[in-house]
Structure 1
Amino acid sequence: MRVRRVVTTRAGGASRPPFDTFNLGDHVGDEAGDVYANRKRLAAELGLAEDRLAWMEQVHGRTATVVDGSETSAAEATDALVTAQSGLALVVLVADCVPLMLADAEAGVVAAVHAGRVGARVGVVPAAIEAMRSLGAEPGRTEALLGPAICGDCYEVPADMAADVEKHVPGSACKTRKGTPGLDLRAGLWRQLADLGVGKIGLDPRCTNEDKTLFSFRRDGTTGRIAGITWLDAS
């Protein structure tokens, strides 16, 4: 079983400013028809039917939901999707938060996780690992990819917030390039994944705030969403 992973950019879509152009978020104020056109193109580019993309209503929580492709709408109030069904692509939407893609190819289990500051703090990543375990995955065989997100140099937060997140996700607190308190969520999540026994961890180093080919809420306010997508390819 081959694991596929894709991260989109903001180029090549139908959306108009400030969502230009490949916005995949249907909750940000963009025209519904433009979002639909972008999602339709995404499916076509991935070589999948539109109904083989699984979406979620992300709420910055710690719920992990197992899906099998029979769902007719986005999974409600969840921040991680997990499946053992080949050809079912799991989608996580971000514009500074960390898109985390997990896979145990031997067990045939993948997960897509929305790991922002709040979700990481309350434990969405351990919840996703446990949901994968329920389908036969093992952390030692699991590979993780931490996708593009706001970097620690850019993510300035109040000192008490940095300390609070550090308490729950050690390794997250840092200093920004201005010398102010900050958060490097990918650094903290890397340590958390290692502590959970995840066998292989990769990192896409791009910063959403710095890279203007990506959407960033911190940089732009009203903006679109890029996607991290993962699925099992049986071909």
Structure 2
Amino acid sequence: MLLNCDLGESFGSWTMGLDADVMPLIDQANIACGFHASDPLIMQKTVQLALSYGVSLGAHPAYPDLQGFGRRSMACAPEEITAMVLYQIGALQNIAASEGGQLSYVKPHGALYNDMMRDPKVLDAILLAVKKTAMPLALMAMSTADNQYLKRRCSEQQVPLLLEAFADRAYDKNGFIVSRSTPGAVYHQQESIVEQAAKLAEGKAIQTLEDENLILEADTLCVHGDNPESLKAVEAIRAALGAKA
């Protein structure tokens, strides 16, 4: 099981996250592209840091929502979504290339990610952007109780799919992560996060908020290390799952 993390989300003099501490522990870095967080210099420094640890580079595009950190849905037409995702991928890819690296996947951020999972038009718009890029890229998307439609659309568009699960988020019975506004949606106890990570990696059932069993197919596990407590959880997950490949 690979570990991925959302990184490069600082902006100007505002620092967010513990990127330097998290990077040695993960396999894939989802790097913000300037629309919900980050700026060109932060993007460049994050790419350099990832490459120094042999971490795969992923674009983390979002709606243009700095104030809301990309967590607010926007009424964008499909062609607007395709263009804004292409724009962000292109910016990060050029920075990566200048440092001798290359992107390998795209993981939408926040509301764009959630909208992609629930609205076929948004999914198709993002897939079109990924397909239009100059290099072959995979799409990282949420694994749910039923991935057949997602798999079919990616196959039809010839876009490789990376199914993602979350170690520190609660799920509903349909396999969707629960809204952050719901009590208990985000786990903060290290023991709970590590336990869920281990079950997901072993293909075992996790418990939903409705107290039902849920088994998720996953290629990669999202972890968050933006504070000292969550960093300790990432360290524990890495130790539990074994050394990086």
> Shorter chain as normaliser: what TM range?
0.3 to 0.5
Higher RCO (C-alpha under 8 Å, 6+ residues apart): 1
Higher strand share: 1
The structure with more helix, counted as a fraction of residues:
2
Q: TM-score, normalised by structure 1?
A: 0.35
Provide the TM-score with structure 2 as the length reference. Answer: 0.34
